Amino acid sequence: MAVATPCIDRTRIALSLSLSLAAAMAGIAPYACAQGYPLKNIALVVPYPPGGGADLFARAIAQDMSRQFDKAIVIDNRSGAGGNIGAEFVAKAAPDGYTLLYTASQIVVSKVLTKNLRFDAQRDLRPVSMSISIPLVLAVHPSLPVRNVKDLIALAKAKPGSLTYSSSGIGASGHFTMELLNASAGIDTRHVPYRGAAAALTSVISGETQMAFLVPPLVQTHAASGKLRVLAVSSRTRSPVFANIPTMQEQGVRNYEALQWHGFFAPAATPEVVINTLHGAVVKALARPELKMRLAAEGAEIVGSSPPAFAALFQQELLKLADIAKRAGIQPE
């Protein structure tokens, strides 16, 4: 007795195999193309106007990376919304390594304090490397009767709410850095926000406010002339620009550290081989003696962290700033 065999739909099998192969090739293609990265010029988005600190540092580092790759790295200034316009552009770009972001630590502040962001920096961007960190210096008007942080804390406790400090705006690095001191030392000082670091500096020089945390280059000349008195630096180690000024920790404020930083990011799905290639190029650029000297003159300290280390720091910064904002009552806008 003959046994009937099932009818085999060869067309469906062929179609299924074709779709499976296409799917596999689609997954492999980005990684295969990434092996020769970079094959063309790279756009480096800086979400701030030309001429600012982040823009100048980005151009200096990109110039060396361009020489390594033998491809142009074109700076694309997409400023606005505290850096969020440029960051969002990169977050939504093709994850092929040809659109990158160079931004500052303000990107963490934006995640903490900005309502209704149209992207999530942790979800949509992948850290490549923190390039540099910049400590802030605590500068006071010379009329303030303090010579060190211990004196300042004692005065603030004796006159709660009477001392004022300036910053370049709500949520700025100078704002969070002083609020960290308020929380760490148990003192109460009043915040006076200005539009920009230059205005915050002028406020302290004129005596309109009594102190501020500012980047070293802004303070250096005025400290030398006696218009400002520098009490401390916010990093764990002393700043080369103010080598004779002790850190907050040296003056008894335990576990205190507050830094500005800059770093490179790529769209989240960028292949690992591209991320590693970019990281290697950043590290090589930062190791150049001439670049190190140029950055150090601006008060910057070389970092060149690995992608995992940068991602871990981003998370730590996020938790720390969220805690400071909650303690200080800084509300999202």
Homologous superfamily in CATH for domain 42-133+260-328:
Bordetella uptake gene, domain 1 (3.40.190.150)
What are the distances in angstroms from CA 137 to CA 217, 322, 326? 10, 22, 24
Is it the case that residue 5 has pLDDT exceeding 50? no
Q: H helices of the chain, where?
A: 10-34, 53-69, 84-91, 106-113, 121-124, 149-158, 173-185, 197-206, 216-225, 272-287, 289-296, 307-328
Q: How confident is the model at residue 332 (pLDDT cuts 50, 70, 90)?
A: confident
Looking up tokens 């499976």 gives: 20
Q: What's the CA gap between 68 and 90, in Å, rounded? A: 23
The pLDDT tens digits of the residues spanning 178-191 come to 999 999 999 999 99
Higher pLDDT, 53 or 64: 64
Nearest Cα to Cα of residue 135 among 217, 211, 207, 60: 217
- Strand-pair partners of 45: 76, 101
Return the CATH number of 137-242, one of 3.40.50.360, 3.40.50.720, 3.40.190.10, 3.90.650.10: 3.40.190.10
pTM, to two decimals? 0.86
Q: Are 224 and 142 spatial neighbours (Cβ–Cβ below 8 Å)?
A: no
The pLDDT tens digits of the residues spanning 249-289 come to 999 999 999 999 999 999 999 999 999 999 999 999 999 99
Question: Backbone phi, then psi, for 134, in 5-degree steps?
Answer: -130, 115
**pLDDT confidence of residue 11:** 46
Locate CATH 3.40.190.10 in the chain: 137-242
- How confident is the prediction for the chain on average, in pLDDT? 90
Tell me what the mean pLDDT of segment 3-14 comes to: 45
Locate CATH 3.40.190.150 in the chain: 42-133+260-328
Looking up tokens 């806008």 gives: 333
**pLDDT confidence of residue 34:** 61
- Mapped onto helix, strand or coil, the DSSP state of residue 301 is strand
The pLDDT tens digits of the residues spanning 291-325 come to 888 888 888 999 999 999 999 999 999 999 999 99
Give the DSSP letter string of 86-129: HHHHHHTS-SSSSEEEEEETHHHHHHHH-TT-SS-HHHHEEEEE
Tokens of 319: 């938790």
**pLDDT confidence of residue 273:** 97
At position 73, the amino acid (one-letter code) is: I
| Cβ neighbours of 311 (radius 10 Å) | 17
The pLDDT tens digits of the residues spanning 112-170 come to 999 889 999 999 999 999 999 999 999 999 999 999 999 999 999 999 999 999 999 99
| Residue-wise burial string across 269-278, b where 16 or more C-beta atoms lie within 10 A, e elsewhere | ebbebbbebb
Q: What is the DSSP letter of 242?
A: G
